[in-house]
Amino acid sequence: MEKEKLFTDFPPVSTEKWMEKIIKDLKGADYDKKLVWKTDEGFDVQPFYRAEDLANIPYRNVLPGNFPYVRGNKTKGNMWLVRQDVHVEDADTTNAKLLDIRMKGVDSFGIIYPDGHVPGEEEVERLLNNIRADVMELNFSCDDPYAIIQVIDHLVKKYNRDLDKVKGSLEFCPLSRYSTTGTFYLSEKEDYKTMSKLFIAGGLLPNFQLLTVNGTIFKNSGAGIVSELAFTLAMATDYLTHLTENGHDIDDVAHRFRFHFSVGSDYFMEIAKFRAFRFLWSKVVNAYGVSHADKTKTFIHCSNAEWNKTLYDPYVNMLRTTTESMSAILGGIDSLSVLPFNEVFEKPDEFSERIARNQQLILKGESFFDKVADPASGSYYVENLTTKLIEKAWELFLQVDEKGGYLEAFKQGFIQERVSNEAEKKNSNITLRKMSLLGTNQYPNISEHIDPAGIKPAALTVENNPELLIPYRGAEAFEKIRLKTDAYALKHKRPVAWMFTYGNLAMQKARSQFAGNFFGVAGFDIADNPGFTTVEEGINAAKKTKPDIVVICSSDEEYADIALPVYEALKDRSIVVLA
């Protein structure tokens, strides 16, 4: 029996027909202004895309696991490692924690030693007691990565581990350190020597990444996605050029790079970002003359950006990190560490770390995000975003290359100037509330109060050096105002904004809500009123209540009659403003 084709009754509709319908429905409104999204990344996004928009995409027929790896490194499925970062206090305590979280779903450890501390072999051995280096991924952050790789190399041989199965990375990125501090670990010359030594010392650990190119500094300093892609690519290319010019074979070094990116809240753009970067890196590495396409694969670790996280209404951070994690996973990252919701303002506790772990465990175990390789493939929208990001990032990368590479461009101020301009635009959008940070610049929880003494010092940026990239959070300007109010309220009565609602019901309600939101983000108490029947009634109520601020909320027409009488009656008792 022949199957009935349900769509034969519906004739195809051309793009021209769709456009005719859209233009008609716009009723004279400008198509570009009304429907075309002018992104901050320097390209326009159309209101709809169709199959014909994929025609010029060169990689559209590439399968997962194939060069140029837009669709990911894996031929089947979308497995990623669940990583949790742990700050080392002492070897035995940290070992107990690692063993505990291993049993709770973690399969990748980020082991972070405090600044200035370089552990010896005995200490690392105690820290890794009962942890198999050929089963768990081990990632180390330490001031002396060369010492760490020597220890790891010796220990895996001592315990007779399969060297091909030992996986992990070293958090070593001299250029990102220089970009944020103005200094190298030791010096430019010595750091590049260390880099070469790492590839010699780790030569027998083929699946252990010896450099982690830290691209998180760009997004967390306010940069856009195109800048993030291009500048991270430029840093990595500087490293690649140095290594190959100093006797290292491209086949031996390219696949030993790991990239650390932050993921933000722009859901589809972030999915496209990871796909675009794999394409860009594979093309760059291929240009160095690798012998096999496998050597051009990109290994990406991802963590949530701190830039859009907030002190106030912190549980919203859970929602942010969940959708961001979805973007990263759908974009095909290799490992993910979810930022605990309270990490930006205090030391994470057992509860916040458990929630962070479980967010990605649920995405894997209950939402099955690990089952399908590159689910975004074929999406007209995401494929076009990917292509646009590739084009724009490559253009910017070439500009950096023309200036002599990343380090030279940074010394000339090119990197900082672009990031600063992009950050300033974001700051302006937050101030004007074109960009919403729920609970901070929009819809504050006015019952939430914070004792500023309980906030860790690093929560608020104090440094502003135009010669460096300074990571900060977009919410800080609003938070500083609100924290001042909270500090004042510890010893004084909290300021009250009192709504003088009168007249047109719709307008008084709309303006009282706007004013309540406006003063609420500064930490003021809000006293709303159901609407006064006469101006005199409202004036008498205000005199009795004695609020700090009286906000007149009515319609434009009624303002002409009531604003001046209300102001004259209350100006000596309260600050009177017009909503």
pLDDT tens-digit profile of 537-547?
Answer: 999 999 999 99
Q: Nearest CA to 279 among 73, 78, 51, 45?
A: 73
What is the DSSP secondary-structure string of 417-473? HHHHHHHHHHHHHHHTTSS--BTTTBS--TT----GGGS-GGGS-----TTS-----
Q: Kindly state whether residues 442 and 339 are assigned to the same domain.
A: yes
Q: Kindly state whether residues 479 and 554 are assigned to the same domain.
A: no
Check if the beta carbon of residue 472 is closer than 8 Å to that of residue 308: no
Q: Kindly state whether residues 197 and 323 are assigned to the same domain.
A: yes
Q: Kindly state whether residues 348 and 403 are assigned to the same domain.
A: yes
Tokens at 515, concatenated: 């004013």
Q: Kindly state whether residues 479 and 353 are assigned to the same domain.
A: yes
Interior angle at CA 451, CA 445 and CA 452, nearest 5: 105
Give me the pLDDT at residue 462, please. 65
Q: Which domain holds residue 504?
A: 496-578
Give me the pLDDT at residue 456, please. 84
State which of 461, 486, 511 marks the end of a domain. Answer: 486
- pLDDT exceeds 90 at position 75: yes
State which of 427, 456, 486 marks the end of a domain. Answer: 486
pLDDT tens, position by position, 255-314? 999 999 999 999 999 999 999 999 999 999 999 999 999 999 999 999 999 999 999 999
- pLDDT exceeds 90 at position 66: yes
Partners of residue 549 on adjacent β-strands: 497, 575
Partners of residue 499 on adjacent β-strands: 551
Q: Kindly state whether residues 396 and 537 are assigned to the same domain.
A: no
Q: What is the DSSP letter of 186?
A: S
In a domain, 282, yes or no: yes
Distance CA 278, CA 274 (A): 6
Q: Kindly state whether residues 336 and 250 are assigned to the same domain.
A: yes
Write the burial class of residue 504 (CB in 10 Å: 0-12 exposed, 13-18 middle, 19+ buried): middle
Residue entry with tokens 């021209």: 16
Write the burial class of residue 447 (CB in 10 Å: 0-12 exposed, 13-18 middle, 19+ buried): exposed
pLDDT tens, position by position, 447-493? 999 999 888 887 787 677 889 999 999 999 999 999 999 999 999 99
Give me the pLDDT at residue 2, please. 64
Share of the chain above pLDDT 90, in %: 94
Alpha-carbon 28 to chain mean position:
39
Share of the chain above pLDDT 70, in %: 98
Q: Kindly state whether residues 210 and 190 are assigned to the same domain.
A: yes
State which of 435, 458, 486 marks the end of a domain. Answer: 486
pLDDT tens, position by position, 396-449? 999 999 999 999 999 999 999 999 999 999 999 999 999 999 999 999 999 999
Please give the average per-residue pLDDT across 312-330, as a whole number.
98
Contacting residues for 220 by C-beta, under 8 A, at least 6 apart = 262, 305, 306, 307, 471, 472
Please give the average per-residue pLDDT across 133-144, as a whole number.
97
In a domain, 116, yes or no: no
Tokens at 395, concatenated: 């253009």
How many domains does the structure of the chain reveal? Answer: 2
Check if the beta carbon of residue 444 is closer than 8 Å to that of residue 312: yes
In a domain, 386, yes or no: yes
Residue 1: band (very low, low, confident or very high) from pLDDT cuts 50, 70, 90 = low
Distance CA 322, CA 122 (A): 39
CATH number assigned to the domain comprising residue 341: 3.20.20.240
Distance CA 336, CA 80 (A): 7
Q: Nearest CA to 478 among 312, 266, 307, 306?
A: 312
Check if the beta carbon of residue 274 is closer than 8 Å to that of residue 333: yes
Please give the average per-residue pLDDT across 123-130, as a whole number.
97
* Mean pLDDT, the chain, integer: 95
Partners of residue 260 on adjacent β-strands: 214, 301
Residue 11: band (very low, low, confident or very high) from pLDDT cuts 50, 70, 90 = confident
In a domain, 164, yes or no: no
Tokens at 130, concatenated: 């009962």
pLDDT tens, position by position, 340-358? 999 999 999 999 999 999 9
Q: Kindly state whether residues 421 and 507 are assigned to the same domain.
A: no
Give me the pLDDT at residue 466, please. 87
Dihedral-angle region of residue 340 (phi above 0 means left; psi in -120 to 50 means alpha; beta otherwise): beta
pLDDT tens, position by position, 484-529? 999 999 999 999 999 999 999 999 999 999 999 999 999 999 999 9
Give me the pLDDT at residue 273, please. 98
Give me the pLDDT at residue 7, please. 66
CATH number assigned to the domain comprising residue 501: 3.40.50.280
In a domain, 550, yes or no: yes
Q: Kindly state whether residues 342 and 424 are assigned to the same domain.
A: yes
- pLDDT exceeds 80 at position 5: no
Check if the beta carbon of residue 84 is closer than 8 Å to that of residue 109: yes
Q: Kindly state whether residues 427 and 562 are assigned to the same domain.
A: no
In a domain, 149, yes or no: no
**For residues 19, 22, 27 and 33, what is the CA-based torsion angle, rounded to 10 degrees?**
-90
Give me the pLDDT at residue 465, please. 86
Distance CA 155, CA 45 (A): 52
Give me the pLDDT at residue 457, please. 81
- Contacts of 152-156 with C-beta under 8 Å, sequence gap 24+, read 152/124, 152/205, 152/208, 153/201, 153/202, 153/204, 153/205, 154/121, 155/121, 155/124, 155/125, 155/128, 156/205
